[in-house]
Amino acid sequence: MTKWEFLRSSRARRRYWARSYAGWRRFTAAQPSAAHTALATLDKAGRIHLMITQNVDKLHHRAGSNPLELHGTVYTVICIDCGYSFCRSLFQDQLNKDLNPKVRVCN
């Protein structure tokens, strides 16, 4: 989904958040790969001067690198009306407890 589709269509936003809600636990359970670890090792050794990633999953960070995130991250939610930002985990908790109390979320 493009940014413009998301911004123009409340239906697209509902679809995005429904899919994101459903996949959040699996997404956050992902672990850095050997490639992430190798890049972090090179970064710590001073062999990488600037790392830029299109990934939004923070796996580079979790491996020990500090890349520039070209597309941001899904770990921060930003209000499209006022620009207020907050932690996605808090938003997920609110979705679970307040808006979907009957949905069973596996741990």
Q: Which two tokens stand for residue 50?
A: 């600037």
Catalytic residue chosen out of the listed positions 36, 60, 61, 71: 71
Beta strands in 37-101 (DSSP E): 52-53, 68-69, 76-78, 85-87
CB within 8 Å of 72: residues ≥ 6 apart:
56
CB within 8 Å of 36: residues ≥ 6 apart:
59, 60, 62, 63, 65
Catalytic, 71? Answer yes
For the annotated catalytic residues, the residue numbers are 71
